[in-house]
Amino acid sequence: MACAESLRVHALIDGELDAAEEAALARHLEGCAECRSLKAKLESLGSALKSDLPRHAPDAALRARLAALLDAEDRVAARVPVRSARPAYWWGAASGALAASLLAVALLVTTGRSADDGVERDVLAAHLRALVSGRAIDVESSDRHTVKPWFQGHVDVSPPVADFASDGFTLVGGRIDYVDGHRAAVVVYRHNAHVIDVFAWRDAGGGAERAASRNGYRLLRWHAGDLAFCAVSDTAESELRNLERLIRATLPADSRE
Amino acid sequence: MTDRRRRFEAEALVHLDAAYNLARWLARSPAEADDVVQDALVKAYRGFDALKGEARPWLLAIVRNCFYTARARQKREPRVGDDEERLAEMPDETTVGPLAAAIRDQEAATLAAALGRLAPEYREVLVLREIEDLSYREIADVAGVPIGTVMSRLARARAALARIHGGEDGVR
pLDDT digits (tens, 9 = 90+) for A226-242: 899 999 998 888 999 99
In whole angstroms, what is the distance from residue B39 CA to residue B67 CA? Answer: 9
Sign of the CA dihedral running B18, B59, A18, A2? negative
Cβ-contact A119, A220 below 8 angstroms: no
Domain positions in chain A are 6-52, 60-255
Higher pLDDT, A102 or B27: B27
A6 touches chain B (CB under 8 A): yes
Region label for B12, one of left (φ > 0), alpha (ψ between -120 and 50) or beta (otherwise): alpha
pLDDT per residue as tens digits for the range B45-89: 989 988 888 899 999 999 999 999 988 887 776 544 444 444 333
pLDDT of A209? 84
- Helices B147-165 and A33-52: crossing angle in degrees, nearest 10, is 80
Cβ-contact A161, A137 below 8 angstroms: no
pLDDT per residue as tens digits for the range A199-227: 999 887 777 788 888 877 899 999 988 89
CA distances from B149 to A35, A43, A132, B155, B160 (A): 20, 22, 57, 10, 17
CB-CB under 8 Å, A153 with B111: no
In whole angstroms, what is the distance from residue B80 CA to residue B164 CA? Answer: 29
* CA-based nearest residue in chain A for residue B137: A16
> How many residues does this entry show for chain B?
172
pLDDT of B109? 80
From chain B, the residues in CB contact with A33 under 8 A are: none
CA distances from B16 to A58, B11, B119 (A): 8, 10, 24
Secondary structure class of A118 (helix, strand, coil): coil
* CA-based nearest residue in chain A for residue B46: A73
A97 backbone dihedrals φ, ψ, rounded to 5°? -60, -35
Q: For the beta carbon of residue B116, count every other beta carbon within 10 angstroms.
A: 20
pLDDT of B86? 42
From chain B, the residues in CB contact with A144 under 8 A are: none
pLDDT of A256? 61
From chain B, the residues in CB contact with A54 under 8 A are: 94, 96, 112
Best mutation target, B7, B15, B34, B124, to test chain A (most A CBs within 10 A): B34
Residue among A82, A97, A112 nearest A213 (CA) = A112
> How many residues does this entry show for chain A?
257
CB-CB under 8 Å, A48 with B46: no
Give this prediction's pTM. Answer: 0.59
**How close does chain B come to A107, measured CA to CA in Å?**
37
In whole angstroms, what is the distance from residue B93 CA to residue B113 CA? Answer: 9
Best mutation target, B1, B16, B38, B62, to test chain A (most A CBs within 10 A): B38
B 52-111 residues inside an 8 A Cβ radius of A: 94, 96, 107-108, 111
Q: Which residues of B22-56 are buried (b: 16+ CB within 10 A; e: fewer)?
A: bbbbbbbebebbbbbbbbbbbbbbeebeeeeeebb
Least reliable range by pLDDT among A18-27, A100-109, A206-215: A100-109
pLDDT mean over A57-64: 91
In whole angstroms, what is the distance from residue B37 CA to residue B60 CA? Answer: 10
B26: Cβ–Cβ under 8 A, 6 or more apart, which residues? B33, B36, B64, B67, B120, B123, B124, B127
Higher pLDDT, A28 or A50: A28
Cβ-contact A35, A3 below 8 angstroms: yes
Best mutation target, B104, B171, B172, to test chain A (most A CBs within 10 A): B171
Angle at A163 between CA A243 and CA B27, to 5 degrees: 130
In whole angstroms, what is the distance from residue B82 CA to residue A235 CA? Answer: 44
From chain A, the residues in CB contact with B151 under 8 A are: 7, 10-11
- Helices A119-133 and A96-111: crossing angle in degrees, nearest 10, is 160
Q: What is residue B118's DSSP assignment?
A: S
CB-CB under 8 Å, B41 with A52: no
Architecture of domain A60-255: 2-Layer Sandwich (3.30)
The share of chain B scoring above pLDDT 70, in percent, equals: 80
A235 touches chain B (CB under 8 A): no
Cβ-contact B19, B41 below 8 angstroms: yes
pLDDT of A51? 84
For chain B, which domains are there?
A: 1-79 (1.10.1740)
